[in-house]
Amino acid sequence: MIELRGLTKRHGGKLAVDQLSFDVRPGRVTGFLGPNGAGKSTTMRMILGLDEPTEGGARVNGRPYRRLPAPLREVGALLDARAVHGGRTAYDHLRFLAVTAGIPRRRITEVVDLVGLTAVARSRAKEFSLGMAQRLGIAAALLGDPGVLILDEPINGLDTEGIRWLRGLLTGLAGEGRTVLLSSHVMSEMELTADHLVVIGQGRLLADMPMRAFIAANSETSTVVRATDQDRLSALLRERGATIRPDPGGGWIVGGLDATAIGELANAQRLSLRELTPRYRSLEEVYTRMTRDAVEYRTARHAIAGGTETSS
Ligand SMILES: Nc1ncnc2c1ncn2[C@@H]1O[C@H](COP(=O)(O)OP(=O)(O)OP(=O)(O)O)[C@@H](O)[C@H]1O
């Protein structure tokens, strides 16, 4: 369990993190989202005692990180996969960490196997691709078999197989009752991996809710409907003020009436339906709309447009 209360970090005149309060609970993967510069890495660094908060604080398993008696056994973290001594082999890097934390050697072999680096464990880290470096960082995070994992952008550099592997690993670890906090800009993957989302923008909390609820709450309701008598159904729906447009897959996309109301209407008119599917936006669509105003580093095109771009 990770608890943030009023966590604030000021760099000179700039608020990087602004009064953040939320809990990261065990038994699920919590996705940590925010545009570039939103304050995710600074927040993670403060949780891990690497940056001092200006105000407020963070607790891991009830204590500030620096007061944990055996931190590596309680919290595993990956902040920067490239922050490894390049001249060391993967095995030596892990052995160095294990010795410092009193972790037995056989655990090194276990985690090297777990992340799929056995064949290159004796190679120097500087020869590693980014994907291999991420796997090494994940191995280091898992070394102490911790109940809490904090991973900043671990997906970067992983190939398709690696991404799939990481998804299975993280959902498995959460399934064992561990606390997993994961940041990523890869929305499609976040949608598949995270159960819960925390979204920040310009250092402030924008959302803290289950993934499904986040998407549903921020999606306009629309429903795909197909009926045996499409014309009659569309006439009925229009009468009720619904908006209707053809669905490329056949049938209609209906707005302004939810699936329950459409089903009841069809039932009352003895119209048989062949499809009644609520449509939700993807996490990427919802997230982009939500954070549009909180984006600090816009592309040149946006800057020139002066923020007048229309919604997608
Ligand atoms: N050491 C520092 N000194 C001054 N400003 C900093 C420092 N570290 C971070 N910042 C600023 O704090 C803000 C938050 O940065 P942070 O790296 O935490 O964002 P982030 O959400 O992790 O971004 P990204 O998605 O790009 O990794 C940014 O405006 C950044 O420029």
Domains defined along the chain, listed by start: 2-216 (3.40.50.300), 220-279 (3.30.70)
Specify the pLDDT at position 305.
41
3-state class of 161 per DSSP? helix
Indicate if the pLDDT at residue 26 is higher than 90.
yes
Q: How far apart are CA 302 and CA 282, in angstroms?
A: 22
CA of 155 to the centre of ligand 1 (A): 19
Residue 35 CA, closest ligand 1 atom number: 25
Long-range contacts at 297-301 (CB < 8 A, ≥ 24 apart): 297/35, 297/36, 297/37
Ligand 1: which of 7, 17, 40 to mutate, most ligand atoms within 8 Å of CB?
40
* Bridge partners, 197 (sequence order): 31, 209
CA of 19 to the centre of ligand 1 (A): 16
Backbone angles phi, psi at 23, to 5 degrees: -110, 140
Q: How far apart are CA 32 and CA 26, in angstroms?
A: 15
> Picking from 32-36, 96-100, 102-106, 219-223, which range would have the lowest pLDDT averaged per residue?
219-223
Residue 12 CA, closest ligand 1 atom number: 4
Indicate if the pLDDT at residue 294 is higher than 90.
no
Indicate if the pLDDT at residue 302 is higher than 60.
no
Specify the pLDDT at position 221.
73
Residue 9 CA, closest ligand 1 atom number: 12
Instruction: Please tell me the residue having the least CA distance from ligand 1 atom 18.
Output: 39
CA of 203 to the centre of ligand 1 (A): 9
Specify the pLDDT at position 260.
92
Q: Tell me: the pLDDT tens digits for 150-174? A: 999 999 999 999 999 999 999 999 9
- Please report, as a single letter, which amino acid is at residue 267: N
Contact present, 236 and 244 (Cβ < 8 Å): no
Specify the pLDDT at position 40.
96
Alpha helices in the chain (DSSP H): 40-47, 71-74, 90-101, 106-114, 130-142, 160-175, 187-193, 211-217, 230-239, 259-268, 283-291, 300-305
Specify the pLDDT at position 308.
39
Indicate if the pLDDT at residue 312 is higher than 70.
no
Mean pLDDT of the chain: 91
Indicate if the pLDDT at residue 89 is higher than 50.
yes
Mean pLDDT of 286-312: 58
Ligand 1 binding site (Cβ under 6 Å of any ligand atom): 11, 16, 34, 36-42
Q: How far apart are CA 80 and CA 40, in angstroms?
A: 13
| More confidently predicted of 305 and 300 | 300
CA of 9 to the centre of ligand 1 (A): 10
3-state class of 293 per DSSP? helix
Residue 83's contacts (CB-CB under 8 Å, 6 or more residues apart) are none
**pTM of the model as a whole:** 0.85
Backbone angles phi, psi at 246, to 5 degrees: -65, 145
Q: Tell me: the pLDDT tens digits for 175-211? A: 999 999 999 999 999 999 999 999 999 999 999 999 9
3-state class of 269 per DSSP? coil
Q: Tell me: the pLDDT tens digits for 240-277? A: 999 999 988 888 999 989 899 999 999 999 999 999 99
Indicate if the pLDDT at residue 310 is higher than 80.
no
CA of 51 to the centre of ligand 1 (A): 12
Mean pLDDT of 117-139: 94
Mean pLDDT of 131-158: 96
Instruction: Give the rounded percent of residues in the chain with a pLDDT score beyond 90.
Output: 78
